[in-house]
């Protein structure tokens, strides 16, 4: 199974990626994990990426592409992988085609987690983060016993700026601009499968596995 996972912020990609990768016995590879591994490992690519990150700039595609190329060449990805966060746009999709061609592989399928934008705002804007331990609560789905204190450590809870409804809607606008063409790109190549990402984690996982199983080698 060589899979790309796409979906808007708040669709549950990180959670679903864990369960899907475990089910199909492939490594979960996220751009965040790749960046952290390269930066903490002090690799040449990590040092290049860190310069941009420290300046508050986006890491250029050329650096991200090189990191993905290195990661997919590692032995554990030989028989499959799940990519989360890459590609982000059509240009990166072309790069992924080239990377896979270099290693004699092809993409199996792209899974799109489809969720209404109003639901995304509801999910993300209700999050409250502990200043002490970093645990994330939700005022509706997972509320703490006390409104302003963390059940785990008693730390103060706060509403992150990037979880405000206005910021979430802006992030969704950016996602639509960058990733909607990517979804259409894979749909035109008959490589896209979309599932409804509403419901419990277990329900969405079951839908995902049912949709992906026909593409497993």
Whether 28 is catalytic: no
Set 36, 131, 160, 189: catalytic member = 160
Set 28, 71, 123, 171: catalytic member = 171
Set 2, 48, 71, 127: catalytic member = 127
Whether 171 is catalytic: yes
- 8 Å CB contact between 67 and 35: yes
Whether 88 is catalytic: yes
**DSSP class of 75:** G
Set 13, 28, 71, 207: catalytic member = 13
The whole-angstrom separation of Cα 128 and Cα 158 is 5
The whole-angstrom separation of Cα 45 and Cα 214 is 36
Phi, psi angle pair for 119, to nearest 5°: -70, -40
- 8 Å CB contact between 131 and 158: yes
Whether 152 is catalytic: no
Set 50, 88, 122, 169: catalytic member = 88
Q: Residues with catalytic annotation?
A: 13, 88, 127, 160, 171
């Amino acid at each position: 199974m060589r899979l790309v996972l796409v979906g808007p912020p708040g669709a549950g990609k990180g959670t679903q990626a864990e369960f899907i990768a475990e089910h199909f016995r492939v490594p979960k590879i996220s751009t965040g994990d790749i960046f952290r591994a390269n930066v903490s490992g002090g690799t040449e690519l990590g040092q290049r990426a860190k310069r941009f990150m420290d300046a508050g700039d986006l890491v250029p595609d050329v650096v991200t592409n090189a990191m993905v190329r290195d990661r997919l060449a590692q032995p554990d990805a030989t028989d499959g992988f799940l990519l989360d966060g890459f590609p982000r746009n059509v240009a990166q999709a072309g790069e992924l085609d080239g990377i896979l061609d270099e290693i004699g592989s092809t993409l199996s399928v792209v899974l799109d987690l489809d969720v209404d934008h109003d639901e995304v705002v509801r999910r993300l804007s209700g999050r409250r983060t502990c200043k002490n331990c970093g645990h994330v609560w939700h005022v509706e789905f997972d509320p703490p016993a006390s409104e302003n204190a963390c059940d785990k450590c008693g730390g103060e809870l706060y509403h992150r700026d990037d979880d405000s409804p206005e910021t979430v809607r802006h992030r969704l606008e950016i996602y639509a601009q960058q990733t909607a063409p990517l979804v259409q790109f894979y749909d035109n190549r008959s490589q896209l499968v979309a599932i409804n990402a509403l419901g419990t984690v277990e329900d969405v996982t079951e839908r995902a596995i049912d949709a992906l199983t026909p593409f497993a080698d």
